[in-house]
C-alpha cells in the first residue's frame, strides 16, 4: 500500500525537504519517514488521534518515546479503510493504534499462532472486546490466511522467534503465505532486533536477534520487493552483543524496520 513510487518520492524531496531517500552503494534504499508536515493533513489527524486515544493503557503510552508510533504509522502509510494483520500482537500496542487509524471501514486481524494460543488468546480477545474493528484469527504461521485480501501484514519483534526450533515454523513457507494473503501492491512490514553482521539467524535463541540482511533475503525469496527501511528505532550505541532482555539494553536495542511490497 505504499502509494508513491520512488521516483515520485524523490521528487518530493525537492518540494518539501522532508523525505530522504539514500542508498548504500545501490544495495539498500533507506526511506526516513516524512515529517508530520509532509504527511497529508487527514492522515496526520488519524495518526495523532490514534496516539492520543485515551483508551491506550498508560504503560503503552510511556513506551512511545522508544517505539516512535507516529513514525511507524507514517512509514507503513496506513490509511482509513485499510485491512491489516498484526501477527502475534501481544498486549496490543500496535493493534490499538491500527484500529483507530483504519477506522470503522477498515479492519485489524489480531493473528495468534496456534502454537501460543493458550496463553495469548485472552489478550487478543480483550482487544476484540474493546475495538469493534478488531477480530482474532488463529492458525499455523506456515499457512496463515484471512477472509479477505490484506493491505498490510505487520510483524513487530516476532520474526526472529519463528526461527527458534521450538516454534516449528517453516519460515520460507510462512513468507509465501504472507505473500498470498496480501492484495497486489500490499505491504509486509517487519520490525526486529538487529544482529551483528554475518550472524544470520544463529542468535535467535540466545540473543533474540536476527541479522537484517539475512531476513531481507528470506523475504525477497518469497517474491517480495524490498522498498526501504526506517531508522526511527535504530540505536547505533547497541553493539549487538547482548540478549535483548538484558536490562542494559532492553527497550533500547538497535532495531530495523523493513517494508516489502507484493508486486502489482
Grade residue 249 by pLDDT with cuts at 50, 70 and 90: very high
How far apart, in whole angstroms, are the C-alpha atoms of residue 114 and residue 11?
45
In the structure, what pLDDT confidence band is assigned to residue 42 with cuts at 50, 70 and 90? Answer: low
pLDDT of residue 9: 35
- pLDDT band at residue 68 under the 50/70/90 scheme: very high
Task: Evaluate the CA torsion angle 98, 102, 103, 109 in order and state its sign.
Answer: negative
**Residue recorded with cell 477498515:** 106
Average pLDDT, the chain: 88
pLDDT at 44: 78
Let me know if residue 49 belongs to a domain: yes
81 and 60 in contact (C-beta within 8 Å)? no
Residues in the chain: 264
Residue 167, CA distances (Å) to 141, 157, 194, 248 in order = 9, 15, 20, 27
Q: Quote the pLDDT of residue 41.
A: 57
Question: What is the maximum span of the chain, computed from C-alpha positions, in angstroms?
Answer: 52
> Mean of the pLDDT values across residues 225-250?
97
Query: Would you call 162 helix, strand, or coil by DSSP?
Result: helix
pLDDT at 203 > cutoff 90: yes
* CA 77/CA 261 separation, integer angstroms: 12
pLDDT score of 95 more than 90: yes
Q: Which range among 12-21, 65-74, 123-132, 255-264 shows the weakest confidence by mean pLDDT?
A: 12-21
Residue 208 has pLDDT above 60, yes or no: yes
Which position has the grid cell 516454534? 167
Per the model's pLDDT, the better-predicted residue between 121 and 6 turns out to be 121
- DSSP, residue by residue, 52-88: T-TTS-HHHHTTHHHH-HHHHHHHHT--TT-EEEEES
Give me the mean pLDDT over the 96-102 stretch. 98
> 25 pLDDT band (50/70/90 cuts)?
very low
Q: For the domain that residue 244 is a member of, what is the CATH number?
A: 3.40.50.150
Query: Helix or strand or coil: residue 94?
Result: helix
Question: Does residue 1 form part of some domain?
Answer: no
- Asked if 16 and 38 touch (Cβ cutoff 8 Å), the reply is yes
| Strand boundaries in the chain, DSSP class E | 20-23, 29-32, 83-87, 107-113, 134-139, 150-156, 182-193, 225-230, 255-261
Axis crossing angle, helix 69-76 with helix 93-102, rounded to the nearest 10: 50
Q: Is residue 212 part of a domain?
A: yes
Alpha helix ranges (H) inside 103-232: 117-130, 171-181, 212-220
Q: Is 140 exposed, middle or buried (0-12, 13-18, 19+ CB in 10 A)?
A: middle
251 found inside a domain: yes
- Per DSSP, the three-state class of 220 is helix
Other CB atoms within 10 A of residue 242 CB: 15
In a domain, 171, yes or no: yes
Instruction: Compute the average pLDDT of residues 61-66.
Output: 96
- Containing structural domain, residue 88: 6-261
Q: Average pLDDT of 37-55?
A: 79
Mean pLDDT (whole number) for 169-192: 98
Residue 37 has pLDDT above 90, yes or no: no
Q: How many structural domains compose the chain?
A: 1
What value does the mean pLDDT take over residues 52-60? 97
Instruction: Classify strands 150-156 and 29-32 as parallel, antiparallel or unpaired.
Output: unpaired
Q: Alpha-carbon distance 229 to 76, whole Å?
A: 10
Asked whether the predicted pLDDT for residue 209 surpasses 80, the reply is yes
Amino acid at each position: 500500500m505504499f502509494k508513491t513510487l520512488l521516483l515520485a518520492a524523490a521528487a518530493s524531496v525537492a518540494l518539501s525537504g522532508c523525505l530522504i531517500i539514500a542508498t548504500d552503494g545501490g544495495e539498500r534504499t533507506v526511506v526516513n519517514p516524512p515529517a508530520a508536515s509532509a504527511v497529508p493533513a487527514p492522515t496526520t489527524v488519524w495518526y495523532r488521534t490514534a496516539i492520543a486515544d485515551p483508551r491506550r493503557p498508560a504503560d503503552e503510552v510511556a513506551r512511545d518515546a522508544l517505539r516512535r508510533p507516529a513514525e511507524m504509522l507514517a512509514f507503513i502509510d496506513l490509511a482509513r479503510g485499510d485491512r491489516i494483520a498484526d501477527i502475534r500482537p501481544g498486549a496490543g500496542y500496535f493493534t490499538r493504534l491500527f484500529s483507530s487509524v483504519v477506522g470503522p471501514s477498515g479492519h485489524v486481524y489480531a493473528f495468534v499462532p496456534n502454537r501460543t494460543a493458550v496463553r495469548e488468546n485472552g489478550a487478543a480477545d480483550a482487544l476484540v472486546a474493546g475495538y469493534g474493528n478488531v477480530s482474532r484469527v488463529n492458525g499455523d504461521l506456515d499457512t496463515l490466511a484471512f477472509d479477505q485480501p490484506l493491505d498490510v501484514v505487520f510483524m513487530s519483534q516476532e520474526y526472529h522467534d519463528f526461527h527458534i526450533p521450538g516454534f516449528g515454523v517453516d519460515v520460507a513457507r510462512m513468507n509465501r503465505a504472507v505473500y498470498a494473503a496480501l492484495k497486489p501492491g500490499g505491504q509486509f512490514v517487519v520490525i526486529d532486533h538487529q544482529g551483528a553482521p554475518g550472524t544470520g539467524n544463529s542468535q535467535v535463541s540466545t540473543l533474540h536477534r536476527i541479522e537484517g540482511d539475512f531476513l531481507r533475503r528470506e523475504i525477497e525469496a518469497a517474491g517480495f520487493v524490498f522498498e526501504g527501511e526506517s531508522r526511527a528505532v535504530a540505536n547505533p550505541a547497541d553493539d549487538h552483543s547482548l540478549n535483548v532482555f538484558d536490562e542494559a539494553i532492553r527497550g533500547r536495542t538497535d532495531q530495523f524496520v523493513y517494508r516489502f511490497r507484493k508486486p502489482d
